[in-house]
Structure 1
Amino acid sequence: MGTNLSSPEGLANNPEHLARLQRNETPFRLLTVRVMRARNIHKADTLTESDCYVTLWLPTASSEIARTKTIPNCKDPVWNHAFCYRIDSRVKNIIQMKIWDEDYITKDDELFSLCFDVAKLRIEQTSRVSFKLDPQTNEELDVEFTLQTIPHRPENIITNGTLVSREISCLEVQVDIGKLKQEYTQGDLILTIKGSYEETQKISMAPDSSLSNRNSIEFHCIKNNQSCLEVILPKKTLWSKLTSCTERARSNASVTLPLTELPIHEKISIGEDKTFDLHVKARDWQRGLDVRLSSDLCVEEQNFLSKRRKYVAAAVKKVLQLNAELQDDEVGLSSERGGNHIILPLLLLFVGSLLLAVPVPQVPVVAIMTTGGGTRSFTAMYGSLLGLQKLNLLDCITYITGLSGTTWTMAKLYEDADWSQKYLEEPINEARKQVTKSKFSCFSKDRLKYYYNELEQRTKEGYNTSFIDLWGLVIESMIHDKKDNHILSDQQAAVTEGQNPFPIYLGINLKSNYSAQDFREWLEFTPYEVGSFKYGAFIRSEDFGSEYFMGRRMKKLPESRICFMQGTWSSIFSFDFMFFWNMANSSEDFWHNWTRDRIQDIDDSLLPSPLDIKTHLVVPQGQLSSTLRDVLTGRPTMAEYPNFLKGFQLHDDYLGSEAFSAWKDSVLDSQPNRLMETVETALSVVDSGFFINTSFPPLLRPQRKVDIILHLNYSGGSQTWNLDQFAAYVSELEIPFPKTELSEEDRKNLKECYVFEDQDDVAAPIVLFFPLTNDTFKKYKAPGVERSPADMEGGNIDVSGYFSPFSTSQIAFSEENFDRLVKMTDYNILNNKDKILEAMRAVVERKKQQKSQSLGCTF
């Protein structure tokens, strides 16, 4: 569950923190920011000089946005206004300063936005920085920073090197309802603590309200944040003719109470004539984390791997016709190496713990990677799996990943806890029945009523429903005859003994006002966990959709039925204009000029350290650019779920975290405040095909140690485009992956299988690429068995043409076309048996060599 920096294990994993404690240093600092002045601020309005003020936002210390006073009609405003923050140096503290031009009629104009890394400051020193806002016009902002050590405020953090979980305080606010109702007979008493889990809570004064009898409210807040309790009294609605304007204004009064100054355990009298009593008490909230902070595989998946290796070892030995058994994760020497039985124990004693530290895996990890494609991919995947089963290779597979239409196939198969141990004829016949049936029944009056009732029930459960949920119900109707009550966590029964490959479903989290090319974060869904491997944060699959704060589950929602998840994983209605532009044109420069933030690094004259983020200036977009950006990146609908990362802060060295660095691919990854904004908002989960139609990423996590990937491509149109996209993507991230070069001739006339291998990098998996192509199947009905003249029509199948009967828009196939597609994908696997076995044999041999080398190095 991450590293607890108060524990011996946490100290061992964080030498810097250990050294700090040995020096009796506290991680807490007092930061004083004095906004001095600005120079040469150009007019935002045509007729008058700017009326400038500055706002400051430091989200790791306070959720409040502070501001200076406004200096009217002045291009060289002087504020000399100081702000103080109590910060924790273990998190990444970025202070954002914005210069605004105040307008009394229209919205205030944002002139400049600066982001400054507090880690650049030196303790017990004052640094005055002149920020060059625009060198051409000599616009500048002078700010003075002072960083001081303050007395230690005990707080244990838990971190995985990327995210930081802070301690939580539970604040209990007791309200004297009796006194309150003497003066207010209706309306709401509103209490707000920004940055808390609850944010805002209300107590109704209406006599018949179920909330009117509440006299105690709890808020959960970050323990050492600078927070305020804002109390807004109810409005008075019964006015006498003698009521003065002053009394009316006071009747909707608000009171803001800094929590650091509250007389805890004492009564506070507020309101008119101080007749309203408020009692505020705080206590530490000792609840542990419900989010697993680690990049390692969960215990359940590790247990699965241990059991699955036994199936794989036996299957690989059989298909490769090996004489000796493949060893599991052995350590040290085995008796199979021969030698004197008296000498062996002496050798083991001699090398001792060194030998015990040498892992020697021999069993290859083979994975199936599928792509999306609606009903086409749903159907084609059955044929590929059938081919693997005929070759006795299904038991050689450890992982299966899917997205979009192949998640329909996977979810159907994993309803049966022993599906891969049975012949696939029965599930294929069931799929044939569902694909070929008329889809008009999915929109009958009874089905529409069913959809309405299900969406209403989902709303009652606490979910925010959208069109994507309706789409999930339509998918359910398309591939089932009745309501499907299965949930993702039910699939644990299919992997608990290692009897089937481990299923991983893939989606991406997007951010509003950003295209998928600019911002996306991979999310993987397994029977045990849902999580982000970029952040190293995972929750139990049955808790996805529940509400979290700072790693604690705050509100439990029922687990979503699998159909709603399928709607999310294949949300074909979440497109934006940029998606279609990127499909049609590889040049993105023009559109990025309109959809990307204009950010530039600027010099702040301070000596940087390796952990510091450069100071950068964000130039706000104009109204035209902002409007066009909304149009280009706007999406009709997306599935939104509570973000289980809510409340987390980023570690001071998060950019150096191995897991985060591996998947750092977003324009916001070097902007911690924007990332924190993202985790505060809901997860907007869509089909990962809106970025790249592939489910590769979970298989490239080094913890899974995948040796061979069977890339089963079911996309429409170009069969190589997604592979080219992904190869370029991982190359930029420097993730081990083989080069996927194809000749122009091959691209024009695709064969059934290509093998890609990086001989120089054993960390890169061997990839066998199976495009959806009709190559030799046109002439052969089975490997080596030519078609008769009467059977030639059976091989005449157009799988990727513009008028193909298998286009993504087709939601139903004829029986004949269903059979053809299944037979073709089955054949393409069978016809390339030798290439699959050759790759497996190469991996087994490579592992044997690694074993010999590791044992040799040990001695």
Structure 2
Amino acid sequence: MGSPPAKMIICPIHMLSVRIIQAKNIKSRDLWTLPISCENFVGQCYSLLDTSLKYLGISGCSGNLQSSPDSSSERHHPGDFLSHRCQASQMTASDCYVRLWLPPASNGKLQTKTIKNTDNPVWNETFYFRIQREVENILELAVCDEDPLTKDDMQFTVLFNVARIRPGETLHETFALKSEKERCARKWESLEVEFWMERIPGPPERLITNDVLVSREVCCLEVQVDINESRRYLTEGKNLVLTVSASHEGTQKTTEDADTFYFHCVKAWEPVLKVRLQKVSDKEDDNSNLSDTLTVPLKFLPVGHKVRVTLPVRHNVPLQLYLQLNDCTENLDVRFGYDLCREEQEFLQKRKRVVASALKRVLHLEGDLHGHEVPVIAVMATGGGLRAMSAMFGHLLALQKLHLLDCVTYVTGASGSTWTLADLYEHADWSQKSLEGPLQAVKEQVTKSKLNLMSIEHLKYYHKEVIERKKAGHVSSFTTLWSLIQEMFLHEQPRKYKLTDQRKALEHGQNPLPFYAVLNVKEEKFGTFKFREWAEFSPYEVAIPKYGASIRSEYFDSEFFMGRRVKKLPESRICYLEGLWTNIFTRNLLDGLYWSSNSNEFWERWAKDMVDIEKSSPEDNITCIEPPSCLSGKLFEMFQDIMTKRPLLGKSHNFLRGLEFHKDYIQQKKFIEWKDIITDFFPTSTLCWTPLQKYLCLIDVGYFINSSGAALFKPERNVDVIISLDYGLGNVFKQLEMTYKYCKIQKIPFPKVEISKEEEKNPKECYVFSDAEDPRAPIIIHFPLVNDTFKEFKEPGVKRSVSEMEEGKVNLENNFSPYYLTRLIYSSENFDKLVNLSKYNILNNKDLLLQAIRSAVERRRRSGRTANLPSYSGAGYR
């Protein structure tokens, strides 16, 4: 099941001309111009709060608020904004300008001059963009009202797909908030623009693409400064400021130790180096104290040759700089392709032999299994803090006792269960030895006092580590501190252990391949339900599957631009990754409301949005967006910021940064399999695009679905059986039901999960779900965290004596449980109860496990389904 390989294509560059002609009926939205009484203001606030909560997917949270007459309860289309329009008579004339942004043509924004005091401004200004037509070119045109007191008001925004323009033709467009028919009723805002495009003579551009993402030609400018001259100026309170605005690095300044600087840019953008000498105290964009400047267009520099240039300095000796421009022709460091990486495919061949031998022994088969008959079995664990970590040890120990651990190919974890995996994979042959030893070590840590975590000695250590990490170039955030505290919490001392060290546990196929699940979200403006992307970590790769893009795990902390590692940083210790995998602090208020209210409402809204959005598309590649207007709009914007801002960010360098979308990415089958948010269908802003973000914002998967299964849903992994280990309290079927609903909407093969009311009240230890009609759907063997027959049996078939009944009492009543999420210490007795319960539930359902696995073998024999045959393709790293 191979995907099309990444390929190189050669395409010409085109010049796009955009003439902003005029706008009509632009009414000012300035708040200060509106006469509004205190009573009306309060009424607007209440109405807005109620409507905004509904828009954000929350109902019943605003209490019995009295709605104002103009409030609307209608459901808004995804991407629409709340708008309570003010009377035109209350408005003053506008001071308008138009802002233009075309990310694939530049990383900066352009704008027209401001036309003062008119509702019908005329500009007739022309702007030029050098574009690559093979990428998705969405031009953002924002009509703004200059505001001397507050942030400039945006009147409306147009997202225009440049693909509508054909080379050699002129296209005249009038963008309006309403259609021609609707405009008859009143005069709506409009913007008149003229486009023209032509091919630029000259060498074409080489692109590398997987038909979803595109990497363009990049050049690297090396700038050398005489370190002695630089230090002399620094002693005088001056430093050299070097800027290539179109580069990944942007602006850099000389320091005591730095004499060489690198700038990575897209060649087609024709970047320019600007050098100036300024006072150290001046701000970066302060030109008031400039001495002298130097401007060097990079297109005039010979490639591969060092050139000396001189920065003239008044009343002083000129400053010499040495410039060398080089083409970045080496292989990409980001692997393009949806297929499994070469290392994983090699591991699968080795593991298949181990699994085949184990299955023959466990199922008492007479003959050996052929390659295509060996099912892929996975263990899928949810999160749940210490509860998940402890219980998972019990589950794995039971699978080991049943000799089923050697039958498992993949094991996935989320949040707390990642602690279990990270501990186990520190040992190269962990599954081949008894887990009793590691279990006792964990018990010792879980039952130990944690009062010294915030001792003066530890606080000094945390501070020292954070400072050193920041100096080395790593992103510093609250998650860095959380990672260090968590490491001390779990291990009491620093560990040099790294994720890639786990490869030793895989080199002979002796253990299952682990995956650690996490979500990438936006720092602000979006709740997790509005925007999130699955990401996966393994000892081999870190990937965001939706884009068919991955990097070697040791590259994760480095800086990337256009698929290339432009700043190499050493691999972090695994504690910093564990901090990301269990990052519960980067939530926003909207995420908090999701968990404190009825989460089904969020799910129903998301499901309905996804169904509705598939039936619609932007008309003629044009989307006009009306922002919030007047008082209610300003309040909504403020309210949205409060609800979606993530105060404690977990930032990581974005390895997709700079990459662009292929012009046909939205039609690619592999991308369609993973797209599950509104902005995957069409953007409400180009800021939604992950490659435009400087950082990834990674959080615990529990803020969407508390499941680590996304890696197992990748079709190329051909998973036949999933042993689902759920560590949730309360509704023990909730996460599995949510997973089923998600898969159903995404058209991912997954068996139907239906639970009766009686089973919800009195859940059993094990459930098996399968789909006889779809052989692609895995068989799910679900183990919820429940205490059923364990109350009376200490081992399968062995009843408890009267004196042993107390050991069978395990309190799993959510908030009152000793295993509640916020409990950081377990008593020795409670730890033993939880582990023994988990172990028992697996052992007591041995027959169901073996029956399901036997069914998977038979299904493979009948279907001749091929499992993970090598079919490596893609443009990859070295």
TM surpasses 0.5: yes
2:27 aligns to what? 42
What are structure 2's unaligned runs of at least 5 residues?
34-90, 868-878
Q: 2:694 aligns with which of 667, 681, 690?
A: 681
**How far off its partner does 1:269 sit?**
7.1
Paired with 1:424 and 1:237, the residues of 2 have a C-alpha distance of: 60
- Once the two structures are superposed, residues 679-726 of structure 1 have per-residue CA deviations (whole angstroms, 9 ceiling, x without a partner) of 432111121112211101001001111111011001233212222222
Paired with 1:94 and 1:512, the residues of 2 have a C-alpha distance of: 22
Alignment partner of 1:577 is 2:589: yes
2:763 aligned counterpart, secondary structure = coil
2:61 aligns to what? none
Paired with 2:111 and 2:527, the residues of 1 have a C-alpha distance of: 32
Paired with 2:540 and 2:560, the residues of 1 have a C-alpha distance of: 18
One-letter code aligned to 1:149: R
- Once the two structures are superposed, residues 635-664 of structure 1 have per-residue CA deviations (whole angstroms, 9 ceiling, x without a partner) of 341321111111111111111223322221
Paired with 1:183 and 1:727, the residues of 2 have a C-alpha distance of: 65
2:50 aligns to what? none
2:7 aligns to what? 10
1:664 aligns to what? 675
**How far off its partner does 1:604 sit?**
13
2:80 aligns to what? none
Where in structure 2 are the equivalents of 1:148-547 lying within 5 Å? 148-173=198-223, 185-203=236-254, 209-211=256-258, 214=259, 217-235=261-279, 251=290, 259=298, 282-328=325-371, 361-513=372-524, 514-547=526-559
How many corresponding residue pairs? 780
- Once the two structures are superposed, residues 718-750 of structure 1 have per-residue CA deviations (whole angstroms, 9 ceiling, x without a partner) of 212222222222222211111111111111111
Identify if the C-alpha distance between structure 1 residues 843 and 272 changes in structure 2 by more than 3 Å, giving closer, same or farther: same
Paired with 2:3 and 2:778, the residues of 1 have a C-alpha distance of: 31
Paired with 1:500 and 1:293, the residues of 2 have a C-alpha distance of: 27
Q: 2:771 aligns with which of 733, 753, 758?
A: 758
2:174 aligns to what? 130
One-letter code aligned to 1:160: N
> Relative to structure 2, which stretch is displaced further, 413-422 or 552-561?
552-561
Identify if the C-alpha distance between structure 1 residues 477 and 626 changes in structure 2 by more than 3 Å, giving closer, same or farther: same
**How far off its partner does 1:306 sit?**
0.4
One-letter code aligned to 1:421: Q
**How far off its partner does 1:143 sit?**
0.9
1:60 aligned counterpart, secondary structure = helix
Identify if the C-alpha distance between structure 1 residues 587 and 847 changes in structure 2 by more than 3 Å, giving closer, same or farther: closer
- Once the two structures are superposed, residues 218-260 of structure 1 have per-residue CA deviations (whole angstroms, 9 ceiling, x without a partner) of 422111114343444424999xxxxxxxxx9574676766555
Q: 2:156 aligns with which of 107, 112, 120?
A: 112
Identify if the C-alpha distance between structure 1 residues 278 and 35 changes in structure 2 by more than 3 Å, giving closer, same or farther: farther
> Relative to structure 2, which stretch is displaced further, 101-110 or 66-75?
101-110
**How far off its partner does 1:615 sit?**
2.8
One-letter code aligned to 1:30: M
Contact 1:648-1:676 within 8 A present in 2 as well: no
1:447 aligned counterpart, secondary structure = helix
> Relative to structure 2, which stretch is displaced further, 256-265 or 299-308?
256-265
1:805 aligns to what? 818
Identify if the C-alpha distance between structure 1 residues 446 and 234 changes in structure 2 by more than 3 Å, giving closer, same or farther: closer
Alignment partner of 1:617 is 2:625: yes
Higher RCO structure (Cα 8 Å, ≥6 apart): 2
2:126 aligned counterpart, secondary structure = strand
> Relative to structure 2, which stretch is displaced further, 543-552 or 581-590?
581-590
Alignment partner of 1:722 is 2:719: no
Contact 1:29-1:149 within 8 A present in 2 as well: yes
2:346 aligned counterpart, secondary structure = helix
- Once the two structures are superposed, residues 305-339 of structure 1 have per-residue CA deviations (whole angstroms, 9 ceiling, x without a partner) of 000001100111111111121112xxxxxxxxxxx
Identify if the C-alpha distance between structure 1 residues 83 and 258 changes in structure 2 by more than 3 Å, giving closer, same or farther: farther
**How far off its partner does 1:304 sit?**
0.7
2:120 aligns to what? 76
Identify if the C-alpha distance between structure 1 residues 237 and 763 changes in structure 2 by more than 3 Å, giving closer, same or farther: closer
One-letter code aligned to 1:324: G
1:833 aligns to what? 846
Paired with 1:604 and 1:776, the residues of 2 have a C-alpha distance of: 54
Identify if the C-alpha distance between structure 1 residues 140 and 272 changes in structure 2 by more than 3 Å, giving closer, same or farther: farther
Percent identity reads: 44
1:668 aligned counterpart, secondary structure = helix
- Once the two structures are superposed, residues 728-774 of structure 1 have per-residue CA deviations (whole angstroms, 9 ceiling, x without a partner) of 22222211111111111111111111111122222211111111001
2:40 aligns to what? none
Paired with 1:225 and 1:662, the residues of 2 have a C-alpha distance of: 33
Identify if the C-alpha distance between structure 1 residues 446 and 174 changes in structure 2 by more than 3 Å, giving closer, same or farther: closer
**How far off its partner does 1:600 sit?**
11
**How far off its partner does 1:362 sit?**
1.0
Where in structure 2 are the equivalents of 1:730-769 lying within 5 Å? 730-769=743-782
Identify if the C-alpha distance between structure 1 residues 82 and 286 changes in structure 2 by more than 3 Å, giving closer, same or farther: same
TM-score by length of 1: 0.84
One-letter code aligned to 1:817: N
One-letter code aligned to 2:364: Q
What are structure 1's unaligned runs of at least 5 residues?
12-16, 239-247, 329-360, 855-859
1:201 aligned counterpart, secondary structure = strand
One-letter code aligned to 2:253: K
Two-structure CA RMSD over aligned residues (Å) = 3.3
1:243 aligns to what? none
Identify if the C-alpha distance between structure 1 residues 618 and 702 changes in structure 2 by more than 3 Å, giving closer, same or farther: farther
TM-score by length of 2: 0.83
One-letter code aligned to 2:482: W
Q: 1:819 aligns with which of 832, 836, 850?
A: 832
Identify if the C-alpha distance between structure 1 residues 98 and 751 changes in structure 2 by more than 3 Å, giving closer, same or farther: same
**How far off its partner does 1:286 sit?**
2.0
One-letter code aligned to 2:731: S
Paired with 2:467 and 2:277, the residues of 1 have a C-alpha distance of: 34
1:33 aligns to what? 18
**How far off its partner does 1:630 sit?**
2.2
Contact 1:236-1:252 within 8 A present in 2 as well: no
1:64 aligned counterpart, secondary structure = coil
1:557 aligned counterpart, secondary structure = coil
Paired with 1:236 and 1:737, the residues of 2 have a C-alpha distance of: 61
**How far off its partner does 1:41 sit?**
1.1
> Relative to structure 2, which stretch is displaced further, 820-829 or 680-689?
680-689
> Relative to structure 2, which stretch is displaced further, 549-558 or 461-470?
461-470
Identify if the C-alpha distance between structure 1 residues 125 and 824 changes in structure 2 by more than 3 Å, giving closer, same or farther: same
**How far off its partner does 1:270 sit?**
6.8
- Once the two structures are superposed, residues 75-126 of structure 1 have per-residue CA deviations (whole angstroms, 9 ceiling, x without a partner) of 1111111112121111111111011112334332221111101112223211
Paired with 1:605 and 1:412, the residues of 2 have a C-alpha distance of: 49
Identify if the C-alpha distance between structure 1 residues 448 and 10 changes in structure 2 by more than 3 Å, giving closer, same or farther: closer
**How far off its partner does 1:29 sit?**
2.0
Paired with 1:237 and 1:797, the residues of 2 have a C-alpha distance of: 64
Paired with 2:459 and 2:254, the residues of 1 have a C-alpha distance of: 38
